[in-house]
Amino acid sequence: MKIFITGATSGFGKAIAEKFAVGGNQLWISGRRGHRLEQLRNQLEAKGCAVFASTLDVRDKQAVNAVAAEVAQEWGTPDVLINNAGLALGLGPIDEGDTDDWDTMIDTNIKGLLYLTRALSPLMRSHKKGHIINIGSTAGKVVYQNGNVYCATKFAVDALTQAMRIELLPHHIKVTAINPGMAETEFSLVRFKGDEEKAAMAYRGFTPLYARDIADAVFYCAGLPPHVCINDMTITCTQQANSIYKTSR
């Protein structure tokens, strides 16, 4: 299969790329941090996987379209698009929110996903096959206090995934949402803008998900027979019920 992955330089995206680097799959990895992208590319090629790489900020519509044109010319039609790029910034009440953080979350989590889907789905449509996997969140199912705009972006991902499933149905394109709960990646470090102590507190007292757990789920969904599509999958650690309720050890 040919798999295009956004946000591949860390967390879920990196783990997903590592999981798919088997069995003759071809990967096109993308992310903002070029040096990390090149390191990952070298790592995956050492395993014998064919890898293309594009330094890409999904918020940049022109850059997204340029990469999509390169994909069409150099690679053809991707079998799987994994819209993974996303982030949370800040954790506080809406009346004290940082509007720059809001813009970054909306532009990345919603508009970036839309730009990639708009750019690559016509290639799938022309071949009457393909699979789009959107990485959502339990925050897109249940709002938690001080999550406001981040939760709103993930609710949007949920709505857009449902819309894609309906509107791409005539073209035989699968659409899946994977909604992780609390997972120990760089997520909290980014949210708290490098404050390692705050980031560590987010996972204290229980065993969270890890990036490889989500990679396993994505790999499973992508490998199902052509007549089977998982529309929506929510995954939490055993000690978490949803985006609000969790228990300590």
- Which pLDDT tens digit goes with each residue over 132-162? 999 999 999 999 999 999 999 999 999 999 9
pLDDT at 249: 64
pTM: 0.94
| Domain residue ranges of the chain, discontinuous segments joined by + | 2-235
Active site residue 220: no
- For residue range 214-243, what is the model confidence (pLDDT) as tens digits? 999 999 999 999 999 999 999 999 888 887
Answer whether CATH 3.50.50.60 is correct for domain 2-235. no
From 144, 150, 210, 245, the catalytic residue: 150
Which two three-digit tokens encode residue 91? Answer: 């954790």
CB atoms within 10 A of CB 96: 8
Which two three-digit tokens encode residue 41? Answer: 């590319």
Mean pLDDT to the nearest integer, 79-94 = 95
- Tell me how far apart the alpha carbons of residues 149 and 160 are, in angstroms, rounded to a whole number: 16
Phi and psi at residue 228, in whole multiples of 5°?
A: -120, 130
pLDDT at 66: 97
**Where would I find the H helices in the chain?**
11-20, 34-46, 61-74, 99-105, 113-127, 148-167, 187-191, 196-201, 211-222
All residues at 6 or more sequence positions from 29 whose CB lies less than 8 Å from its CB, including other chains = 5, 8, 13, 17, 37, 40, 41, 44, 51, 52, 53, 54
H-helix or E-strand spanning residue 53: strand 50-55
